[in-house]
Structure 1
Amino acid sequence: MPFKPSIIATALLCAAVPANATTPMDPALIDRAVMEFTGAAIGQPGGARLPVDRRMRLNACGMPLQIDWYGKNRDSVQVHCPDAGWRIYVAIAQVPQADEPGTGQIVVARGETVAIVVEGGGFSLSRQAVALEEGAIGSWIKVQPAQDKKAEPVRAQVVRPGQVAVRLH
C-alpha cells in the first residue's frame, strides 16, 4: 500500500523538530552543574544558596551548559544554554572571610530563638524565629517563624549570634 502524502509530510515534520524542543530541562542537572562549577553543595558557603526553582520550565539544552561567575563579588553564577536560548542566574551562599569573628564556630544552636531580618528594595522586617538547625556565621540554616508553627520553614543566613537574615535583592 503506498504512503499518503499527508503521512509522509507529518513524518518529515516530526523528524525536523528537535527532540529537546518539548522536553523540559531537569533542574537537578542545573543544580549538579553549579555544584561541580563552584565545588560546594547547595546551601554551603560557596555553593548555590538554594536549589533551582522546580517550577521553571526551561527547554532542554542540547549542548553542555555554559557556566561563569557573575557579579563583581562572584555572588552569582550565570548558567546559559545558547541552543535553547535561555540564561538564568543562581545566587551563591557567601563564604565567610577568615578575619570574621567566630568563623567556623557555631553561633546559633538548634532550638534557639533568633531574630530573622528580611531585607529588600527599601524595606527591612524583623521577627522572632526558632532555629531548626545549628549554624556558624555565613552558613544557611532553616528557621521556623516563632509566632506561626504552621508556617513553612525558611532558609536564612546566620549573620551573628542570635540573628539570621534573608535578603531579597
Structure 2
Amino acid sequence: MLSFFLMAVAAPTDLTLLDRAAEIFAGAPRGTPGGPLAPIDRRLRLAACGSSPEFTWRSDAHDAIVIRCPDNNGWRIFVTVAAAPAAVQATAVKAEPVIRRGDPVTMEAGRDGFAVSADGIAMNDAAPGARLQIKVEGAKAPVQAIAVEAGKATLPGW
C-alpha cells in the first residue's frame, strides 16, 4: 500500500528584502562605495527563517556582510561590499635636506652614561629623519645613519 504525505513547505526567504536590509546595515545603497556590490544571487533558494536574520561584518575591514539565519541548521551567506573610496591623502611636503652630499657629519649613538661618536663625510643629501650613507675614514664600507640636524646624525636604533 502506498501512502502519500503532504508536507507544508514554507515559502523561501525573500531575497529582495534581504538585499534592502543589507543596504540598511551597510549604510549605503547597492553599487555605491560602502554598499553591497551586487544583489544577492537570485538562484539561491534560502529556506524560510523562523526568526529575523542576523547581520554582521565579516571583518573589521567591512568588506563583506554576513547574513545568517539563527535557526537550527540555518543558512549563512556573504554579501560583498563595494570598496569605499580611499581617504584623500595629504600631499607630502618634501622636507629640505639638513645634510648635503660632501658635508662633514658627526654620528652619535648612546644611552644613559654611554656615548660613541665618529666623524665622516655625507655621501648623499638627507632631510631630518631620513637615512643617509656616511663615509668614515678607515672603514671599508659607508655607515648608514639617520639625519638629525645640520652636521649631526645618529645610528639607526639609538
**Larger relative helix fraction:** 1
Larger Rg: 2
**Larger relative strand fraction:** 1
